[in-house]
Amino acid sequence: MTSKGKCADAALDLLFIEEGDDGYRNPTELKMSQIVLPCHANHCGELSVGQLLKWMDSTACLSAERHAGCSCVTASVDDIHFEHTIGVGKVVNIIAKVNRAFTSSMEVGILVDCEDLYTDRQWKVCHAFATFVARRTEAGKVQLKQVLPRTQAEQMEYSLAAERRRMRLIHAEIMNDLLSSSTAQLGEFQEFQGAVPAERTRVESVELVLPPHANHQVSTFGGQIMAWMENVATIAASRLCKAHPTLRSIDMFHFRGPSHIGDRLVLKAIVNNSFKHSMEVGVCAEAYQGGEPLRHINSAFMTFEVLDEDRKPRTIPRIRPEPVDGKRRYQEAVARKKIRLDRKYIISCKQTEVPLSVPWDPSNQMYLSFNNVTALKLMDTRNNWVLTSEKNKVRLYTLEENHVLCFKVEMHVSVPAEQTFHLLSDLRRRKEWDRIYEECEVIIQADEEDTLYRVTTPSVSKGGKGQDFILLASRRKPCDTRDPYLIALRSVTLPTHLPTEDYTRGEVLCAGFSIWEESSAVTKITYYNQATPGILPYISTDIAGLSSSFSSIFSACRDFLEANKDSLAALPPSAL
């Protein structure tokens, strides 16, 4: 890679592209550049991740405080994956800016790249999303001002921040649900011959919090706590592999309480489990003063690899956990690995790298739902749609990017937005206005927001077979008035509903409705669809301008909504 534009996560790279020629720069954006000196490096001559975490935290904090206008503290840092190590002499560039503010908390996006001054090369190291909370002032609790996105990239991150916040809040539920599921999900505990007792990797260290470790608010600097945690985790990993390990990823840091000058910070780490080429180290930080009991400050899970001379991962010794707590940590590490793989497979990949239909099961439901809504939000923030045709106040737009054709249909209805949302949320009622929907049945009601349906559609050609689709419908109400109601659709696969000879199995990559409240009685509806081969035959003549069936279908939708705007039957499927 030679530039940011070639980074793997294209969506995040949009974060920091300055758009327009008006010289605009996000008012919360802050940049830090540091040259890596020997004092910042480990004995391998690579930048210590602990030092990098300090720099990331301080840059993000200053960005948050610029927006809030008052002191802020780190509440959490989302998962971080380190794509590259950084050598002595290289320059680290960190950019941070506030994506969205909620009541008293805000999400800050952080992007780290490395620069070689002699070759003018730059490459991405990692990105992260941190949550900061504005500290209470003498006047009381702070009410943060809203972020006002100006560019398409800012609008995208603003919109996705609400979905990421939802994921943070339910992260613990995902873990608990997976651990309470059958061992078929996680596998049985395995005893390996020659396994290393986990107790040999246990590390405990104490640090006295001194003024140099405090921030400008006289609390222990969050980046310093994370650096100490990384240090003991590295020691634990080294005890298992008898080599210098490379930190590859960190599961979410979550600060559970403050720490202050004079605290004794107790840091504990142990290898929870090891796999073929990686190991998970659990680490926690607790604080006390005098004879008071320990206070839980933070905990995290770090994944390490050991690289050989060719920078390829080496095989790692297996772990033998101690009974009870050790086996619990061992099994939890398996669960977290599954969650990481689900996230990587479902969320982190580019859309062009993900199969159209991903297998659905309860353990990956949250990530599929996240991906489903995120894909629709990304389409909703695009601003380069081309108007193809308009009839009966129904507008058809198209967009072709990377050889993928997308279309959207837009109209207004005289129905309140919430009622519109409820009427369109139940796909079983769509056949009342959409002739392409022949039959629709609920397969699984996963929860109030996610439902799985089987939809059948008629044949496009005379005498041909119809199509059926297995769809995940994910619904979201607005986080605030700057968000729309969303109904996102995508294909999934289920072992109970395999393709049959009677129908051709169709696939939907991204489709759904964005519903905006323009007034108490007027709603703007936008329907999006990323035209896969299974969908294209139904709309190709409209896009080519040879017919206007889209207009008649969505005019029928308008009539359906307005006829049912006072209907009490407009309830989410879970209530039916």
Report the amino acid identity of residue 476: R
DSSP three-state, residue 225: helix
| pLDDT given at position 332 | 86
d(CA 359, CA 71): 45
Distance CA 456, CA 440 (A): 7
Q: How far is CA 149 from CA 24, 158, 228, in A?
A: 12, 7, 36
* Distance of alpha carbon 556 from alpha carbon 372, whole angstroms: 26
Helix, strand, coil percentages for the chain (3-state, nearest 5):
30, 35, 35
| Residue 461 DSSP symbol | S
Q: What is the pLDDT of residues 87-132, one digit of tens each?
A: 999 999 999 999 999 989 999 999 999 999 999 899 999 999 999 9
Classified as helix, coil or strand, 231 is helix
Query: Could you tell me the two tokens for 236?
Result: 């634990």
Neighbours of 316 (CB within 10 A): 22
Residue 153 DSSP label: H
Q: Which two tokens stand for residue 559?
A: 């009539």
Report which of 242, 100, 246 is spatially closest to residue 160, judged by C-alpha positions.
100
Helical (H) or strand (E) element with 50: helix 49-68
pLDDT of residue 439: 93
Question: What HEC string does 316-379 produce?
Answer: CCCEECCCCHHHHHHHHHHHHHHHHHHHHHHHHCCHHHCCCCEECCHHHHHHHHHHHHHHHHHH
Measured between alpha carbons, how far is 442 from 107 in angstroms, rounded to an integer?
36
Tokens describing residue 390: 């308009």
**Domains annotated on the chain, with CATH:** 1-180 (3.10.129.10), 363-575 (3.30.530.20)
Whole-model pTM: value is: 0.82
Q: What is the pLDDT of residue 178?
A: 55
From residue 312, alpha-carbon distances to 232, 234, 303, 307 in Å are 24, 19, 16, 5
Spell 534-548 as b/e; 16+ CB within 10 A means b: bbeebbeebbeeeeb
Containing H/E element for 163? helix 152-180
Which of 165, 262, 241, 244 minimizes the C-alpha distance to 196? 241
Dist. CA 294–CA 434, nearest whole Å: 62
3-class secondary structure, 255 = coil
| DSSP assignment letter at 544 | T
For residue 292, the 8-state DSSP code is P
Number of separate helices (H) and strands (E) present in the chain:
10, 25
Place of tokens 């729309």: 484
Contacts from 441-444 at CB under 8 Å and sequence distance 24+? 442/573, 443/470, 443/494, 443/496, 443/497, 444/494
> How many CB atoms are located within 10 Å of the residue 396 CB?
24
Q: List b or e across 317-332, with b for residues whose CB sees 16 or more CB atoms inside 10 angstroms.
A: bbbbbeeeebeebbbb
CB 266 within 8 A of CB 287: yes
And the tokens for 140? 């009381």
Q: Which residue has the tokens 């990377």?
A: 402
274-278 long-range contacts, CB within 8 A, separation 24+: 274/240, 274/316, 274/317, 274/318, 274/319, 275/316, 275/337, 276/315, 276/316, 277/305, 277/313, 277/314, 277/315, 277/316, 278/248, 278/303, 278/304, 278/305, 278/313, 278/316
**What digits encode the pLDDT tens for the residues 284-338?**
999 999 888 999 999 999 999 998 888 889 999 999 998 888 888 888 888 888 7
DSSP state, residue 44 = T
Residues of the chain below pLDDT 50:
1-21, 182-184, 186, 349, 351-352, 354, 574-576
- Is 279 exposed, middle or buried (CB count within 10 Å of its CB: 0-12, 13-18, 19+)? buried
From the number of C-beta atoms within 10 Å of its C-beta (0-12, 13-18, 19+), residue 551 rates as buried
Question: What is the C-alpha separation between 438 and 455, in angstroms, rounded?
Answer: 7
